[in-house]
Structure 1
Amino acid sequence: MNKIAVVGAGISGLSMANYLEKHSIDYHIYERRKKKDLAGHGFLIPQEGMNYLYEIIEPDLLFQHGRFLKKYIQYSHTGKILGEKKLGNVFAISRNSLINLLAQNISPEKITYEETVTPNDRQKGRLMLSNGTEIDAAIAIISDGSRSRIRRSLFKDETMKMVRESEVVNIIHDKEIADAIENDFIKFHHEEGGLTFGILKLSDNTVLWYSQFDNEKYMINECSVGNLKKYMLEIFKDWHPVVPSIIQKSDYKNVHLWCVYELEKLNSFYQDNIVFIGDAAHPLIPFTSQGVTSALKDSFILTKYLVEEDNIEQTFSRYETERKPEIEIHINNGRTLLDQFLLPLSQQTENMLPISYK
C-alpha cells in the first residue's frame, strides 16, 4: 500500500500510527503543535478502550503510568453521599503519559511537528503543507480534533454549536490530598444542578480535578486564567473542605479552560481519499468519557479494513458503516447526561455513571 498521511499527533493520530506500524503500512504524521506542547490533562478509559490499547502498548507499561479506579462516588456539594457504584476496570491516566506511551513506538523521522496541513483547492482529495508543497500520499487520515479545519473546509455547510457546559481542568501534585482520595472517582454536585467538581487519582501524588459549569449560570468563559483561581475559590467556597483545598493548592500555570462544542449533525466520515477519525470525525461531549476509546476503536477498525480491502471507497464505507451507529449512541447518551447535569439533584436520575456505554 502507498504511503498514508496522518494529520494530527494526538491520541487518535498516534494510535492510528501505532496500528499502521503493527501492520507494516507506510505513513507519515503531520502535527501543528510543537513537540513538547501537550495541552490537556487526563482521561477515563473503560475496559473496551483498554483492550484496544493492549494491542499496541504493553499492559505492564500502561499500569506504571495510571491506575484503575474502584468505584464512582457521588456527593452533594457539602459532602453528603448520594450514591456509589463499582467501576468495571475504568483506567485513569494523564494525557501527557498516554501521548508519550503512544509516541514511543513511532520513529522521530515519521513525525513532522509545527506543520499546518490544508486541503489543496486545485486538486480534489489532496493535501498540502504550509509552503504549498503537495503531500504525496494515497490516503489522508485526519485526526486534527473536534474543531477540525480540514473537516470544515470539506463540509462547508456543517454547524457546530456551543454546549451548555464549560470545564476547568487541572492537575495537582500533592501526596496528602492523593492519600485521602484512594483509588476512586469522586464527584461533588451542587443541589441546584449545573455545577460539579470531579476528582481522579492518577498516581500516589497526582490528582486530576475538573469542574463543570452551566455556562448560562456561571460566566466562566469571561474569566482570564489570571483571575481563574480567585473565581474558583469564590464559587466553591462553601463546598466540602477538600474542594477549596484542592483549588487553593493547585498551580494554575497549565490549567485548561474548555468550551465544549458539538456538531448538530454528523458529516460523512470520509470524502474521496480523505477519512476522519476520533474527534475530527465525531466530537463527543465530555460527559460520555468515550473520547479515547472511540479514537482507539476508530483506528483499529480503519486499519483492519485497510488491510482487508484493496478499494479505498469500500474501505472507508465499511469503516463508517461500522462506527457511525455506535457514535450516534454515545452522542445521544452524552446529551442525556448533559440534561441530567443541568437539573437540580432532586430531579436527577439516581446514581448515573458519568460514562456512556453502547
Structure 2
Amino acid sequence: MRKAKAPKFKAPIVIIGGGVAGLALASGLIQRGVEVKILDRGWLPWQMGMGFIVLRTGLDALHELFPRVRWGDVGAPVLRAKIMDSSSELLSDTTLDAYAIGRGTLLNTMLDQLPPGTLIDHAGVSEFLRGADGRVRAVICDDGRVIPCSMVIGADGLRSATREFLYPDVQLEDVRVREVVSIFDAPHVAEILGTTFIKHYDPDGGFGVGMLNVGGGQVVWFVQHDADRYDWAGLSPGMLRWAIWEKVSRWPAPIPALWAMTKFTKSHLWFTRDLYPDFDYVQNNIVLIGDAAHPVLSFTSHGATGALEDAVLLAPLLADAKDDEERASSAAAFGMVRRDMFERIVVEGREILERFLLPLHKQPKGVMLPLVK
C-alpha cells in the first residue's frame, strides 16, 4: 500500500457512478492520498448485470488497485476457450489468460475495500455549478445537496448522464444482437466448466450460447441472438423461457440443464450498444471513463477490462498533478490515448458482430474467439 500524500486541493474529486470504473478509480486515488466522493443514484449491484470476463490487463489492474484482495478466491481463471457448433463439432480451441467474476461479487468486494462513507447512495446528479473559469466547482444532487469538487469523473455507465450533459447530440448506436444473460448457483456445472469458457454457435448464424464458471459455485450463461430473427424484447419471462427452449432443447449438455435451472424472472435481456469515439473524453475538469466514455460490444470482452485500465492509468496522473492546470493537461493526454485505443476496439467489435450474423460456412477461419486483444 502506498503512503498517502498530503492533500493539495481544497475540494474532493467527485466520481459520478459506483460501478467498476468509479470504484476502481476511487481506490487508486485514495491510495495516493486524494480525497474522493462517489455519487450513485442507486447502488444495487445484483440488478446491474451478471458477470464479466476480465482480460489480463484488467486483472493486473485489480491486483494493483485492490492489493489486499485475493482475487483468485472470489472469481475464477479462464484459461481456455472452446468454440463449437450446436452439435458439439469443435470450431476452435484456444488458450486464454483471463478471469471471470460475477458482477455483484466484484462490486461488493471493491466497495468493501474503500473507507466508509466514500460512496454516497441515492445521490443522483441534477446539475453542475461552474466557476468563472469554466471549471465545475460543485455538483448539485437531486435532493438539493451541494457537493464541492475539484474535478468531476463521469463513470456513470452506458447511458451516462455526464456524457449527455457534455455532448447532448451524441447517441448510442443501436445493435441488432441482444443477449439474455443469467447467473445462478450451480456448483456441479461450475466444476465441469472449470477454467474453460464454452460457446456454441448455430450453423445458420445469428445465434450462440455461452457459459463460464465465475467462481463461488456460480455459473453465468448467455444467449446471444439476432433480434431480426428472434424478436424476444416484448416477451414475458415465461414466454421467453419457452422461446429459448424451442431453440436449444436439442443442443449439447449442459445447455438444457442450464435452461431448466434458470429463473427467467431474474434473467436480463440486454440490448447491446456501442459508441464510436468521435468526441473528447475530457472537457475542462470533467473526465469520462469506463462505459460512460467507451461503451463497446460484449463480443470484445473489453467492458470491465477497459474500465479497470482507465482507473489504473488515470489515478497516478490525477494524484501527482500540482494544480488544476496540470490535472487538466494530464487528463487530456489520457483521454487522447484511450480514445485512439477504443476507436480500434469498437471497429473490431463491429467486425466480430458482422461475422456472428453469418452462417458458419461463410465465416473466415480462425476468427471464432469473441475477444479483441
With normalisation by structure 1, the TM-score equals 0.94
Tell me how far apart the structure 1 counterparts of residues 218 and 366 of structure 2 sit (CA, whole Å).
Answer: 26
- Does the 8 Å contact 1:78/1:239 carry over to 2? yes
Identity of aligned residues (%): 28
Change (3 A) 1:46 1:114: same
Q: Which amino acid aligns with 1:248?
A: A
- 1:248 is displaced (CA, Å) by 1.3
Tell me how far apart the structure 2 counterparts of residues 221 and 229 of structure 1 sit (CA, whole Å).
Answer: 12
Change (3 A) 1:121 1:226: farther
- 1:127 is displaced (CA, Å) by 2.6
- Does the 8 Å contact 1:266/1:282 carry over to 2? no
Tell me how far apart the structure 2 counterparts of residues 293 and 164 of structure 1 sit (CA, whole Å).
Answer: 24
Tell me how far apart the structure 1 counterparts of residues 194 and 82 of structure 2 sit (CA, whole Å).
Answer: 12
Higher mean C-alpha deviation, range 21-30 or range 313-322 = 313-322
Tell me how far apart the structure 1 counterparts of residues 50 and 170 of structure 2 sit (CA, whole Å).
Answer: 29
Q: Which amino acid aligns with 2:98?
A: V
Partner residue, 1:266: 278
User: Is 1:236–2:251 an aligned residue pair?
Assistant: no
Tell me how far apart the structure 1 counterparts of residues 129 and 307 of structure 2 sit (CA, whole Å).
Answer: 28
User: Is 1:78–2:87 an aligned residue pair?
Assistant: yes
Partner residue, 1:201: 213
Tell me how large the CA RMSD over aligned residues is.
Answer: 1.9
- 1:258 is displaced (CA, Å) by 0.5
- Does the 8 Å contact 1:213/1:220 carry over to 2? no
The match for 2:365 among 331, 339, 350 is 350
The match for 2:349 among 312, 325, 334 is 334
Change (3 A) 1:180 1:35: closer
Secondary structure of the equivalent of 1:198?
strand
Higher mean C-alpha deviation, range 54-63 or range 238-247 = 54-63
Partner residue, 1:323: 338
- Does the 8 Å contact 1:166/1:212 carry over to 2? yes
With normalisation by structure 2, the TM-score equals 0.90
- Does the 8 Å contact 2:275/2:346 carry over to 1? no
User: Is 1:41–2:50 an aligned residue pair?
Assistant: yes
Tell me how far apart the structure 1 counterparts of residues 56 and 292 of structure 2 sit (CA, whole Å).
Answer: 23
Partner residue, 1:144: 156
Tell me how far apart the structure 2 counterparts of residues 107 and 204 of structure 1 sit (CA, whole Å).
Answer: 25
Partner residue, 1:110: 118
The match for 2:65 among 42, 47, 56 is 56
- Does the 8 Å contact 1:5/1:141 carry over to 2? yes
Superposition map of 1:173-212 within 5 A = 173-203=185-215, 205-212=217-224
User: Is 1:22–2:22 an aligned residue pair?
Assistant: no
- 1:145 is displaced (CA, Å) by 0.5
Partner residue, 2:6: none
**Count of aligned pairs:** 356
Higher mean C-alpha deviation, range 235-244 or range 213-222 = 235-244
